[in-house]
Structure formats: structure tokens, C-alpha cells
Amino acid sequence: MSISHFPHSLLLFSKFGTAIVASGHHIQSVDTSTGTVISSTVNASDELKNSLSKSGPIRFIAVDHSWKHLLTLCDDKKLKVWKVEGLELLHERELPKRPTSASFTADGQTIVVADKFGDVFSYTLHPLPVEEVPPSQPQEDSTTTVPNVEPEQPQSGSKRKRKSKKPKRHENPPHARDSVDSHTNPSGGTLVLGHTSLLTTFIFSQDEKYIITADRDEHIRISWYPQGYIIESFCLGCSQFVSCLHIPKSKPNILISGGGDPELKVWDWLSGKLKFNIPVSDCVKEYIKVKAQPYVRKKFKRGNIEAADGDDDGEGENEEDRNPRGEADLASVPLSGTNTPTVGDSSAHDEETIVVVQNIETVEKEGKLFIIFSVVGATALFTTAFPEAPSDSLTIHAFDFGHPVLDFTLDPTGFVWATIDRNLTEGSVSWDGRTIPVDPSYSSSSSTHPPV
């Protein structure tokens, strides 16, 4: 199956005239002036392609400031680091839990990863020498945040034995009952901080003295970095999960957050004070064409979508991903306009449009600040002026592409680059990714729009 069947789902843009796009489980780097593909993992060795397809679709990519290294996060618990030039896979490291977000520090030497267990770990750019053993040999394991643990010699011994027998099953070696290690890390990561809820995203303050983490239980937490154990404040007041955070370049004290709430929230993050709400839900709703499949418990789901007969594993959490194994997921995502019959009694949920803000950026134009944001499943990008006073009534402009926007980014000149899913428009039924071939060249599935 060719990669071209998958829309470019993630996009990054450099000031050096290249862009990196992720599509399915592949990544490509593209010349932004001509649209030619510079390098792509499609042309990689079979071995690498195999391991990429095993990892599943790429969920997250990030590049360091100097545009030397790239990291990707997939559905497995691996942190892959690539050389941007030539897209060469440098190494992959095992993470303790499935990651949700990651970032390079400004100097590019540290990678910070947030995971689904709510923890944030930091890793060195390259694995420490100890771990550069071939994967067939047992790795030194169980680094812990508590230094005074008992030596774990017998445990690593027993782990060695187990590993050789069943390398997959015994991820947790047996522990002594009185062991006090709490956050074991297979790759020697340093625990920065942790929430009890799943972390959705995080960012650094511009001076990198603070790390701002957001979770699915409405919290935005401001902690010191790297002393993540000191909490400066919480930005509290959301009533839904938080899914994206942004600090405008020209206003380093301001944090814009978006998520499941019907508004964007503007905070003075250091004090945790809410400055403004920017209501977006009403303007945005009409553009949401791809709707989330309501969560149905697996056992009910099984019976109902038997016809679809997919190896549905009940993980359809990101409805915008079109992955090859999720055929059943795709078939059962309701499309407004087509009234595709869907899972059981979920018709009641179809009426309900859930707004999930996906990405927020700001751009400065003629001395004024504008917010650009995307919404999961919407066919448009949205812009609004940054409010100067709470009483400002803001109009939200939508740039409708006619196809769902998957990701967008800003280039240094202030142009907005967006990737859209050409496979899917409203009313299109055959959007399983197989029937409509898409021109693989970059420019066909992305378009530029002047800011505001």
C-alpha cells in the first residue's frame, strides 16, 4: 500500500526552507519552495519500514531549534530520534508509558516527554553510553528517582532470565515488597513532575524556567523547570480537558489554552489568573464535518459493528487519524451530511458536536496580535484578534478549505501552512483511504493562506 493514500497528518515548518510532514507511519522532508520531497522514510530499508509500520501512525513530531534532530512519537512506547538531514533514524528508546507530547529544550540537548500516566520525564538527546548495548542484551533497568533504594542485583538477574524467554510480557520485573522505587524508567529518564491524570500537552515558558503541563482533568499546572517538584501556580477554571497551550512570542506572560471548553482561555500564567475567555464554540461548530465517535465500551461495540469486521481495538481516541488497521473505526465514524448509519443508539450523540481545539498559534501583523487555531474535524482554520480588554467583542474569521484541516503551522514570514485531508469532504462516503488516490506531492495536500 502506498503512503499516498494517507493524508499528511502532522506538519512542521523550518526557517531553512524545508518542512517535515508525517503521514500515517511515515515522515518526509519537503522543499517548501518547490514541493519536492527531499527525503522520505518510504524509501528506507525494509527493516526500518517494518518497524515503522509496527509502531503505528505517528502521533507527534517535534524538531529542535537548530533543525538538526527530529523526534517522533507513535502508538507504541518508543521515543525515536532522527537526523533531520536525510531522515536517518539515530536511535529509539523505550518509554515507561505511552507518550502524548514531547519537546526539545532550547539548547537541543534534552528531550522532555509527557505520557499517558501523567508523568514528565527528561532524557538526554542521545542515550547514555550504558544503554548503547544491542537490544538483544538485557538493559540496565530501574532507574529511580529515589536514590536510596536497595541494590537491585537479584531482580535484574531474574529479569534477564525472563527477558530471554518472553521479551515482551515481563515489562515489570518482580520487586521486593519493601522496595521504595516509584517511577521506574527503562531508558534512564529523569522524572520532572507528574499529574495523576493523563497529560495532554505541555510547553516551556520562553525563558525555559517554567514548564506548563495540561491534563485531561482540567488542570494547567505551572512548575519550575527543571525543578518540576516546585509548583508555581495552577491555572484553574476549565470545565473540560485542556488539549493545547500557546504562549505568544511577543507576550511571554500570556498563556492561551484550548480544549473541550467552548472558549479559548487567556491566562496570566505565572499567577494563574484567567484574563479573558474567547468564546469560539458557536462560530466553529458549523465547520466541524468529521465528528468523534462516541465512546462505546468494547463489548457493546463488538456486536454492533460486526459487519465492518475490523480488528477494532477500541482505541479510536483520535478520530482524525486514518490508519490502515482502523478500518472499523473509520467506517463507524459518523459523517454529518451523509447520515451514515452508525453504532447502535449513538444517533443521539450525532447531534451533539464536540469542539476540541487542536492547535493554537499567534501571528503579529501590523503591530496587532492575531490568534489562529484549528479544531479537530473542522474544515477551516480560524483566526481572531487577540483581546486587549475583557469587554472586546471578537469576531472569529474562518478560512474554509472544504476539507478537514489536519494540522497547521506558521512559517517565519507569517504565512500559515496547513495540511488538509483531501480524501474527505462533506458527503464523501468512500473515505476509507483506499478508494481515492491522492497525489503524493506535498503541495497538493497543503495550501497556503496569507495571515488574517
Partner 1 sequence: MPKRKRTAAEALNPDPESKKLLPQKRFYRQRAHANPFSDHALDYPKSPQNMDWDAHYPAFAGTGRTPEFADIGCGFGGLMIALAPLYPDVLMLGMEIRVQVSQYVQDRISALRTADNSHQNVSIVRANAMKFLPNFFPKSSLSALFFLFPDPHFKHRKHKARIISPTLLAEYAYVLRPGGIVYTITDVKDLHQWMKAHLEVFPLFEPVSEEALRAEGKGNIVDAVFRSTEEGQKVERNKGDKWLACFRRIEISRS
What distance in Å separates the CA atoms of residue 169 and residue 47, rounded to the nearest whole number? 23
Region near partner 1 per CB under 8 A, out of 7-15, 33-41, 174-182, 410-418: 174-182
- CB nearer to partner 1: pick between 61 and 191: 191
Looking at the DSSP bridge assignments, the partners of residue 234 are 221
Residue 177 interacting with partner 1 (CB under 8 A) = yes
Region near partner 1 per CB under 8 A, out of 159-167, 231-239, 347-355, 393-401: 231-239
Helix (H, G, I), strand (E, B) or coil at 150: coil
Residue 49 phi/psi, 5-degree rounding, is -60, -40
Region near partner 1 per CB under 8 A, out of 47-55, 68-76, 145-153, 243-251: 145-153
Residue 147 interacting with partner 1 (CB under 8 A) = yes
Cα-based distances in Å from 311 to 290, 304, 324: 22, 14, 10
What distance in Å separates the CA atoms of residue 104 and residue 82, rounded to the nearest whole number? 13
Closest approach of partner 1 to the CB of residue 392, in Å: 23
Residue 183 interacting with partner 1 (CB under 8 A) = yes
Residue 231 interacting with partner 1 (CB under 8 A) = yes
The H or E element that residue 192 is part of is: strand 190-194
Residue 154 interacting with partner 1 (CB under 8 A) = no
Residue 114 interacting with partner 1 (CB under 8 A) = no
Closest approach of partner 1 to the CB of residue 186, in Å: 16
- CB nearer to partner 1: pick between 233 and 342: 233
Binding partner 1 by CB under 8 A: which of 4, 40, 110, 145? 145
Classify residue 28 as left (phi > 0), alpha (psi -120 to 50) or beta: beta
Binding partner 1 by CB under 8 A: which of 1, 128, 236, 429? 236
- CB nearer to partner 1: pick between 76 and 181: 181
Cα-based distances in Å from 418 to 40, 355, 372: 19, 19, 11
What Rg do the C-alpha atoms of the chain give, in angstroms?
22
Region near partner 1 per CB under 8 A, out of 99-107, 180-188, 299-307, 354-362: 180-188
Residues 197-226 that bind partner 1 (CB under 8 A): 197, 209, 217-219, 221, 223-224
What distance in Å separates the CA atoms of residue 267 and residue 257, rounded to the nearest whole number? 8
Binding mask 119-138 for partner 1 (x = CB under 8 A): x-------------------
Classify residue 343 as left (phi > 0), alpha (psi -120 to 50) or beta: beta
- CB nearer to partner 1: pick between 92 and 115: 115
Residue 443 interacting with partner 1 (CB under 8 A) = no
Binding partner 1 by CB under 8 A: which of 12, 81, 238, 406? 238
Cα-based distances in Å from 254 to 112, 266, 381, 383: 22, 7, 22, 18
Cell 507511519 sits on residue: 25
Closest approach of partner 1 to the CB of residue 119, in Å: 6
Residue 152 interacting with partner 1 (CB under 8 A) = no
E strand residue ranges, 15-158: 18-23, 26-31, 37-40, 60-63, 69-73, 78-83, 88-94, 99-104, 110-115, 119-124
Q: Which residues bind partner 1 (CB under 8 A)?
A: 117-119, 145-148, 172, 174-175, 177-180, 182-183, 191, 193-197, 209, 217-219, 221, 223-224, 227-231, 233-234, 236-239
